[in-house]
Amino acid sequence: MRGIEPIRRESPVARPWDPLRALDSVMTLTPCRCGQEIYGQEDPAECWYRVVCGALRRFAVRPDGRRQIVDFLLPGDWFGFAAGSDQHRFAVEAMASGTVVSCYPRRRLEMLADSDPRVAREIRAMTFGAIERLQNQILILGRMLAPERVGSFLVEMAERCAVQETGDRLVLPMSRYDIADYLALSVETVSRAMTDLKRRGAITLAGTRRVRIVDRDALDEGDGDQD
């Protein structure tokens, strides 16, 4: 008679190392209402932040009172870096109710990065992501015509919001006033550009924030009014 075979115990599968899990011990979560300020211009740069859900805008207010938005922050984006300074040059505030931000003390993260090269690599990746977003904005602002700027902006937002090619339906978390202050256009010019893109069959609109991208190539072909 055959003996009873011993029970084979499966060796536990090692879970992949998650840099965010390693930072949980120093993290605090902050729920935000629409319009709530995370920090202001010239506030001390004591923390770094990550968007958990919702959306935020990063901006500066010029001496003449005009607002210039330099970045839209979406889930997964890191912000709050202040290279070579202990103060923030820009303010950040929530654009939508239900926004949640995770906050990490800057000094604690720097200490973790000094002791763990994996954390240091993750922090480098965070900063590279922020730099890439700003580079994309420069490319968009380099467009001469307003429909080109707006079209390039819609394509960028679709990519950042992981809109699938099959649907290409996008709900913008920002208002047209926000888009205008980001693209250095007037809100009237943004509205005309949206209408022009719709007329040419590049997009369809349902209200002011729901956009369906019909033809991505056409979004790069501007022939509308300049601001």
pLDDT in tens, 38-94: 999 989 989 999 999 999 999 999 888 899 999 999 998 999 987 666 889 899 999
pTM of this structure: 0.80
Neighbours of 184 (CB within 10 A): 14
Q: Outline where the chain has alpha helix (H).
A: 19-22, 106-115, 117-141, 146-160, 176-183, 187-199, 216-219
d(CA 207, CA 170): 12
Strand order across the beta sheet in which 28-32 lies: 28-32, 99-105, 47-53, 78-79
CB 69 within 8 A of CB 178: yes
Closest of 159, 199, 153, 143 to residue 176, by C-alpha: 153
pLDDT in tens, 136-175: 888 888 888 899 999 999 988 988 887 544 457 899 999 9
